[in-house]
Structure 1
Amino acid sequence: MLDLPTLSSNGIILKPLMLTHANDLAQACQDGELWKINETSVPEPDKIIDYINTAHSMPDRKAFVVIDESNGKAIGTTSFHDILPTSKRLEIGYTWYAKSYWRTHVNTICKLMLLTYIFETLNYQTVGWRTDIDNHRSQQAIERLGAKKDGVIRGNRVRRDGVISDTVMYSMSKDEWPKHKIKLIEKLAKHGK
């Protein structure tokens, strides 16, 4: 299975998620009361330790913490999951950031670091994403990365309110990556990063 590196760029650090990040993450999920968003996997503030322990216990998930280098605080998480070394495919998910970081450069920087690592260091062939059919904000963010919509898996997930929902699947191939990398770099340049 993969060992996670520490990645750093433009004031954002990604490193393996640890229990020592629990207090910062409890504050981060309170920024916008993210656990109240039905279509996401953001834990309640008092369940952060369980969230971290669950991430560590999943054999096909490797979790990163996202740190704002300017203040040293953990502001969210993201993970590799559904890792298939034989077919050189994995998914990026369990991604959330404190609400004050939404629609900033943070997601673009994180995805640029992760995709560069996946395609250029690990030499994987495909990266996937999935999101709830009603999570339009997440779908738009994935589409801005250049991922292609693969389709909808009907009735395969249960939201925190117990409603059975559909999942929208996306992917990007290694062949598509170079043109999307350029676009992400250009987008960061517009943010002054």
Structure 2
Amino acid sequence: MIRVDPVTLAFNGVRLEPLAPHHADGLRAAAADGELWTLRVTSVPAPQETGQYIRTALETSNRCAFAVIDAASGTVIGSTSYHDILPAVDRVEIGYTWYAGSRQRSHVNTSCKLMLLAHAFDTLGCAVVGLRTDNLNLASQAAIERLGAGKDGVIRHSALRRDGSVRDTVMYSILRSEWPAIRTRLHARLNAYGPAC
């Protein structure tokens, strides 16, 4: 049975720190980089909601939230989480993931996924890692599919969006047996970014 405790992870110029109230100003600035809270299909907090976003993350019993930090500058550049943690079946999900606009389409997401997946499979001993996204978030679906995750299906009419509409949720998963090939694929993708990252 897995046990998920707060931990700091670092790799490739990116650090994941347990999310805490002192990250509020940094998260606010990261969200402002691209006005990400205006996107209907994301979980990015509006500037005035950053404190509540952190409180909610910390108060959710089956969630372990991280601030994503640029290791060189110490700047907060986003957030991600383990969530829907099910110790009895050795399952976690990775989600609530977003990055400052200027860090999107960079090495950051690949580096974070490598850290989180490696920790889940190699340290925690997870049997499966799930990922989910809004059915309208085609960019997120494409990114998850590029990871090599299997599409499990769609949960219809499953959650509220920030605008009050109800979304369908697309579910994906990665099994422990699939992790070695996915790890190789992620390292190859990072090599394509070059040594600057």
Q: Give TM-score scaled by structure 1 length.
A: 0.98
**Which residue, out of 126, 129, 134, partners 1:127?**
129
Which residue in 2 is equivalent to 1:187? 189
| Partner of residue 82, structure 1 | 84
Q: Is 2:4–2:124's contact at 8 Å kept on the other side of the alignment?
A: no
The secondary structure found in structure 2 opposite 1:175 is: helix
Letter in 1 for 2:6: L
Aligned to 2:157: 155
Given candidates 177, 180, 184, the residue that maps to 1:178 is 180
Using the TM superposition, give the Cα deviation of residue 24 of structure 1 relative to its aligned residue in structure 2, in angstroms. Answer: 0.8
Alignment of 1:1-80 (within 5 A): 1-80=3-82
CA-atom RMSD, angstroms? 0.8
Match of residue 138 from structure 2: 136
- Cα deviations by residue, 1:30-86 (Å, 9 ceiling, x for unpaired): 111111101111110111010000000000011011001121111100001110111
Moved over 3 A (4+): none
Q: Secondary structure at the match of 1:103?
A: coil
Q: Deviations over 1:133-173 (max 9, x none)?
A: 00011111111111111111100111111111100000000
Unaligned runs of 5+ in 1: none
Aligned-partner SS, 2:93: strand
Q: What aligned pairs does 1:98-137 form with structure 2 within 5 A after superposition?
A: 98-137=100-139
Q: What is the one-letter code of the residue matched to 2:188?
A: E
- Which amino acid letter does the alignment assign opposite residue 109 of structure 2? N
Structure 2 segments unaligned to the other structure (5+ residues): none
| TM-score of the pair, normalised by structure 2 | 0.96
**Whole-Å Cα distance in 2 between the matches of residues 50 and 115 of structure 1?**
27
How many residues are treated as equivalent by the alignment?
A: 193
SS in 2 for 1:131: strand
**Match for residue 169 of structure 1 among 168, 171, 185:** 171
